[in-house]
Structure 1
Amino acid sequence: MLDELHVQNVALIRDASFAPASGLTVITGETGAGKTALLSALKLIVGDRADAATVREGAASALVEGRFFAGSADGEGVDAGEDGGHVAMRKVSADGRSRVTMDGSMATVGQLAATVGKSVDLCGQHEHQHLLKPANHVAMLDAWAADSIAPVLDAYRAAFDAQSEAARELERIKEAARTSTEQLEQARFVLARIDEAAPSLEEYEDIMRELPRVENAEALAQEADAAYWELSHEGGAVDAVRSALRHLESAGEMDSSLAPLVETLTDASYALEDAEREVRVYRDGIDHDPAALARMQERASALQGLMRSYGPRMEDVLAKREEAARTVAAVDDADRLVAAAQRACDEAEQALQHAAKALDDARAEAAPRFAELVNAQMARLEMGSAELVCHLEALDRAQWTRTGASKVELLYRASSGMTARPLARIASGGEVSRVMLACKVVLGAADERETLVFDEVDAGVGGSVAVALAGVLADLAKTHQVIVVTHLAQVAVRGDAHYLVRKNPDGADGIPETELSLIAGEARVAEVARMLSGDTSEASLSHAREMLAAVRGR
């Protein structure tokens, strides 16, 4: 919801601040005072299009800053945390260029509309009305009847996604079956060449590890034999250590401090004896087999040839083999694969049809109940025999989306006997606003739009209808933040906050200026009196006090 708005140089507003209540905020003022300038500022901050005419005469740019929080209309649960609120700024220069920042960072108008704009509904001029877009009607019905519709909608979407995936897989297999002759022959050649060598990652790693030893078998045998001779011949390393050990053992009988050295040489003697045996075993185990070497080199060459063609790694060769195999199989076994994919697609389609019917049934059951409640609110607003019709129309299969298999549209019948028509074709802005008001009251907390701004909602209204309208707006303010531009005293007295718009013909820069002020006490009494009778006579003031007191006593 909107916490605070700061406006500079928008239309007749030079500088103004606006901090609406979390419930009902009313904006009043004489005709021509500049109430539309504040609405223009609101439109800018929610992502509406801007032009140079928005900028106050003589100013270089217009600026609108807004702070928005997520929270309930009663003020509880207001979240001003890092993820719960946004601070937005929109600057429009005199040449029509626009600049946006969100939470201190540069942003686009589209991002502004997608964040701030999605929580605010401007219910006045037709181009801003959420209600007039048929694409939004199904979401309104689904939100209102979420308990019955949400489960079947989730099931429908799951079935829709599954059918879409099955259809894509069927098309992929059919496309593979239509593979060109050249591609098919290439795949068969790759498959035959790799399969002829029958490579494996384990074999390649074993060959690369063993090949250097087999290639150098003769040299390894010579080096191992030389090492063995150095260890084992008379006077060699083993004998030398044993001789040194005997001398130290003899000396140790005379000097006990040599015991650790004797132990060290003893360990060394054992280690050398072990090394002597292991070198001998290694030397004797070397098999210099030219035929085996030739076979291993030939195998290594074959595997490396595959890697040069399809590598660079053996893993790439094996992946290429699988790709080629799939291509060949898709063509050679096309009929079976296409049939299997077609069966899967048909089954998914059947499941989708069942899910679509369940969703249509749930919406068809909820639609007249929703319309009945809206019509009750419209009757409360004394809109005569006008009524809202929640119309469902089945779509062609090709038009189905994740939203559903039918179109949901709210239609308006101006009086009994007349044909229900799309809401967008209603001529009266006040009429549209009152239909919107009735819908919003019925939606209640299910409505995703937290802030509702009404302009023209009381156009042509008076008498008992004005009282009813004020009551409906007050009810709506229990679940939403409601901002109303009104000329009705019956509405003005119900506001939790009351702003007065005045026009100063002699502004600070010599240009007429719109001033916005929060009024209370006697100032509010005087404004309500003016709205009642056009003057502030004692009778009007007394009547205004009575109306305000009656509201406070509710």
Structure 2
Amino acid sequence: MLSHLSIRNIVLIEALDLAFAPGLGVLTGETGAGKSILLDALGLILGMRADSGLVRAGADLASVTASFEPGALHGAVARTLADAGVEVEPGEPILIRRQIKADGGSKAFINDQPASVALLREVAPYLVEIHGQHDDRGLVNPRGHRALLDRYARVDTAAMEAAWKAWGQAEARLAKTRAGIAKAAEDRELFQAHVAELEALAPQAGEEEELAGERATMQKGERLAGDLGAVQQVFAGSHSPLAELRVAARRLDRIAGEHPLLEEVLAALDRAMIEADDAEDKLNRALDALAFDPLALDRVETRLFDLRAAGRKHGCAVEDLPAKLEEMRSALSAIEGGEAEVAALEQAAAKARAAWLKLAEAASSARAEAALRLDAAVKAELAPLKLDAARFRTDVARLDEAQWGASGMDRVEFMIATNPGADFAPLAKIASGGELSRFILALKVALAEEGGAATMIFDEIDRGVGGAVAQAIGERLARLASSGQLLAVTHSPQVAARGGQHYFIAKSSDGLVTRTGVVLLDGSGRQEEIARMLSGAEITPEARAQADRLLERV
């Protein structure tokens, strides 16, 4: 519910602060006093395009602030805001502020947190409905007709939306599996060839590193073979240095006792032979380790080439070839077992479709039944509103399957025929603006128990009517306002008399500056304003007496 509205520097309004209460509030004033400015200001709060022409002449900045008290739709607003990153404390008012600069810049805030204009438009339907002479939203827009009928019919749209989502997910899983199997089937022969090739190659984990090490060792042996052979020849044969040392040692051994120095020479020779024997042993072992076999080297290099070629072919490292082989084996197995998986997913999708269809068919039946009740309820409201020749019909049509959605399989649109014998046409195409407003009022009264925005505003719904019709309009506005908040901009004294709050809009000028102001009228003020509305510029005693009678009837 709209509780406060503050306006600064909007067109002719310099500064205005208004408080609103539940029930029916009426706004009256002479033509041109500025009633439309109030609606334009409120439109900014609801996400209307910011026009720098709304900024009061001479001002740099204009602003509008509206406070909405928690109500039945507060939770829905809070969830919408939370999804957009704007936090609202439970039970706290929602404060929306919009600023416009004279150069055209615009900013919006919700509870002092920056917000986009798109977010204002998203929460607007929960907060305020405005019905005017050229309204193309709300009840006029057929996009919202199905939701209105669903609330009237008590259709469980949440369950249907959940079932639609489950069906969509089941179909998506089925389509993905089918596509994967189809792609794999196309590659079946290629997979089989690759698997056979890799199975023949039989790559092993760590094999590349091991083979590379063997090849490096053999290549080193090939390079060192000449030098090692020459060194080995030094130790070989009867005339090698080591053989000569052994001969010398044997001779010294026979004569070493002849002199101490000879014994030392013999000991030195023994040590030298021990070291030479150790060197010869290590040399022989090195020759074995670095043994070069051209055939073995060729086998190692061929194996490395084959492994690395396979890695390049399959786009992976040689180390990953065993895993690639298992992956392709699994793909082949999936092709073979795919039919069973697809059958299970088809069954699940069919089950999900049947579950949604059951709910959608029930919703369709409920809509058709509720449409008849709604038509009768609207019909009962038309005659008192001077629309007795008009007819109203709620069209519920079955959509093609391609157009089904989370809300069901039906298209819903409110249709009217304004003259006897005329064809039904969409509500949005009615010729007369006054008739349109009264049709909307009749429909709102019929749908009153199903709720709507927290605040409704009717802009000059009584244009062009008077007497009993205006009285009927006032009665219905009051009835609608009894369970919420309704503001009516009116030129009808019969409607104005029904208001629980009466705001008078007037324009004043000091010769230099023109301003629009709004005053909340007390009892005597209401009498004078309603008398003015009855008599015109000169308020007569008879007009005051008639105003009293209108107020007494309320």
Q: TM-score, normalised by structure 1?
A: 0.70
Q: CA RMSD in A?
A: 3.6
2:50 aligns to what SS in structure 1? coil
- Displacement of 1:154 in angstroms is 4.6
Confirm whether residue 142 of structure 1 aligns to residue 150 of structure 2: yes
Q: Any gaps of 5 or more consecutive residues in structure 1?
A: 74-80, 198-308
Mapped to 2, the partners of 1:345 and 1:83 lie a distance apart of 40
What's 2:18 paired with? 18
Task: State which of 398, 404, 409 in structure 2 corresponds to 1:405.
Answer: 409
Shift of 1:160: 2.2
Question: Aligned partner of 1:34: which letter?
Answer: G
1:60 aligns with 2:60: yes
Give the residue type in structure 2 aligned to 1:444: A
**Using a 3 Å threshold, how does the CA distance of structure 1 residues 176 and 537 change in structure 2: closer, same or farther?**
same
Structure 1 counterpart of 2:541, from 495, 513, 538: 538
How far is the alpha carbon of 1:127 from its aligned partner? Answer: 4.5
What is the identity, as a one-letter code, of the residue corresponding to 2:520?
L
Q: Give secondary structure in 1 for the equivalent of 2:183.
A: coil
1:438 CA drift (Å): 1.6
Structure 1 equivalent of residue 97 of structure 2: 89
Could you tell me how far apart the structure 2 residues matched to 1:21 and 1:356 are? 41
SS in 2 for 1:126: coil
In structure 1, how many angstroms separate the alpha carbons of the residues matched to 2:325 and 2:384? 74
Q: CA-to-partner distance for each residue in 1:533-553, whole Å, 9 max, x for gaps?
A: 1132222122212322332xx
- Percent of counterpart pairs with the same letter? 38
The structure having more radius of gyration, on CA atoms, is: 2
Give the corresponding residue for 1:522. 524
Instruction: Check 1:188–1:540 CA distance in 2 against 1; reply closer, same or farther (3 A cut).
Output: farther
Structure 1 residue 188: deviation in Å?
A: 10
Q: Is the 8 A contact 2:133 2:434 kept in 1?
A: no
Unaligned runs of 5+ in 2: 74-87, 203-314
- Which shifted more, 321-330 or 51-60? 321-330
Determine whether 1:109 maps to 2:117. yes
Kept in 2, the 8 Å contact 1:140–1:447? The answer is no
Q: Give SS of 2:20's match.
A: coil
Contact between 2:531 and 2:543, CA under 8 Å: does it hold in 1?
Answer: yes
Residues 329 and 446 (structure 1), Cα distance of their counterparts in 2 relative to 1, 3 Å cut:
farther
Which has the higher mean CA deviation after the structures are superposed, 135-144 or 324-333? 324-333
Go from structure 1 to structure 2 and tell me whether the alpha carbon gap of 1:93 and 1:325 turns closer, same or farther (over 3 Å shift): farther
After superposition, where does 1:187-226 map in structure 2 within 5 Å? none
Whether contact under 8 Å (1:191, 1:324) holds in the other structure is: no
Q: Could you say which residue in structure 2 is the equivalent of 1:76?
A: none
Structure 2 distance, partners of 1:329, 1:453, is 67
Alpha carbons 2:129, 2:456 under 8 Å: kept:
yes
Distance 1:331 1:22, change over 3 A: same
SS at match of 2:504: strand
The whole-number CA distance in structure 1 between the counterparts of 2:89 and 2:357 is: 44
State the one-letter code of the partner of 1:469: I
Is 1:68–1:116's contact at 8 Å kept on the other side of the alignment?
no
Pairing 1:119–2:127 present: yes
CA distance in 1, matches of 2:192, 2:546: 93
| SS of residue paired to 1:58 | coil
**Partner residue of 2:445?**
441
CA positional deviation for 1:162: 2.9
Residues of 1 paired with 2:388 and 2:197: CA distance? 82
CA separation of 1:333 and 1:421: change in aligned 2, threshold 3 A: same
The match for 1:497 is 501
Paired with 1:158 and 1:373, the residues of 2 have a C-alpha distance of 32
Give the 5 Å matches for 1:107-186: 107-127=115-135, 129-146=137-154, 149-150=155-156, 153-179=157-183
Alpha-carbon distance in 2 for matches of 1:104, 1:337: 54
Counterpart residue identity of residue 140, structure 2: L
Q: What amino acid is aligned across from residue 459 of structure 1 in structure 2?
A: R
| SS class of match (1:457) | coil
Residues of 2 paired with 1:25 and 1:48: CA distance? 23
| Cα distance in structure 1, aligned partners of 2:195 and 2:520 | 81
1:26 offset after TM fit, Å?
0.2
1:432 correspondence with 2:436: yes
Partners in 2 of 1:68 and 1:468 — Cα distance?
29
User: Cα deviations across residues 259-318 of structure 1 (Å, max 9, x unaligned)?
Assistant: xxxxxxxxxxxxxxxxxxxxxxxxxxxxxxxxxxxxxxxxxxxxxxxxxx999xx9xx99
**Residue 198 of structure 2 contacts residue 325 of structure 2 at CA under 8 Å; is this kept in 1?**
no
Match among 327, 330, 334 for residue 334 of structure 2: 330
Secondary structure of residue in 1 paired with 2:62: strand
Residue 403 (structure 2) pairs with residue 414 (structure 1): no
Check if 1:98 corresponds to 2:101: no
1:358 to 356, 359, 362: 362
SS at match of 2:548: helix
- Decide which moves more: 155-164 or 432-441: 155-164
1:296 maps to what in 2? Answer: none
**Distance in 1 between residues matched to 2:419 and 2:189, nearest whole Å:** 69
The residue type paired with residue 536 of structure 1 is: I
Residue identity matched to 1:452: M
Say if 1:382 and 1:183 are closer, same or farther in 2 by CA, change over 3 A. same
Query: What displacement does 1:101 show?
Result: 0.7
**Residue 497 and residue 325 in structure 1: after superposition, are their counterparts in 2 closer, same or farther (change >3 A)?**
farther
1:348 aligns with 2:365: no
Indicate whether 1:394 and 2:401 are aligned.
no
What residue in structure 2 maps to residue 243 of structure 1?
Answer: none
Is contact 2:133-2:461 (8 Å) kept?
A: no
1 CA distance for matches of 2:325 and 2:352?
A: 32
Cα-to-partner distance string for 1:119-143 (whole Å, 9 max, x where unaligned):
2101115355311211110111111
| 1:201 corresponding residue in structure 2 | none
Distance of aligned partners of 1:382 and 1:186 in 2 relative to their CA distance in 1, 3 Å threshold: same
Q: Structure 1 residue 403: deviation in Å?
A: 0.7
Q: Displacement, 1:524? A: 1.5
Contact 1:24 1:474 (8 Å CA) reproduced: yes
Matched to 2:63, the amino acid is L
Query: Could you tell me whether the CA contact under 8 Å between 2:125 and 2:453 is conserved in 1?
Result: no
Structure 1 467/345 Cα, relative in aligned 2: closer, same or farther at 3 Å?
A: same
Note the C-alpha offset of 1:117.
4.4
Superposition pairs of residues 250-261 of structure 1, within 5 angstroms: none
**Distance change in 2, residues 1:155/1:108 (3 Å):** closer
Is the 1:179–1:331 contact (alpha carbons within 8 Å) kept by the matching residues of 2? no
Contact preservation (8 Å) 2:136, 2:428 = no
CA distance 1:340–1:460, shift in 2 (3 Å): same
1:365 Cα shift? Answer: 0.8
How big is each residue's C-alpha offset from its partner over 1:36-68, in whole Å with a ceiling of 9 and x where there is no partner?
Answer: 100111111111122122222222222100100
1:548 aligns with 2:551: yes
Q: Distance in 1 between matches of 2:197 and 2:32?
A: 87
Which amino acid in structure 1 is aligned with residue 420 of structure 2? S
| Contact persistence 1:126–1:424 (CA under 8 A) | no
Could you tell me which amino acid in structure 2 is paired with residue 95 of structure 1?
D
Say if 1:188 and 1:324, in contact at 8 Å, map to a contact too. Answer: no
Is structure 2 residue 42 aligned with structure 1 residue 42?
Answer: yes
| 1:341 shift after superposition | 2.8
Asked whether the 8 Å contact 1:191–1:321 carries over to 2, the reply is no
For 1:163 and 1:434, locate their aligned partners in 2 and report how far apart those are by CA, in whole Å.
42
1:498-542 CA-to-partner distances (Å, cap 9, x unmatched) read 0001011337xx232111111112221110100011132222122
CA displacement, residues 443-492 of structure 1 (integer Å, 9 cap, x when unaligned): 22422311101112001110110111110011000122100000111111
Map of 1:9 onto structure 2: 9
Question: Cα distance 1:504–1:154, how it changes in 2: closer, same or farther (>3 A)?
Answer: closer
Query: 1:184, 1:59 → 2: CA distance?
Result: 78
The Cα of 1:324 is off from its aligned counterpart by 6.4
Question: In the alignment, which residue of structure 1 is the partner of 2:458?
Answer: 454
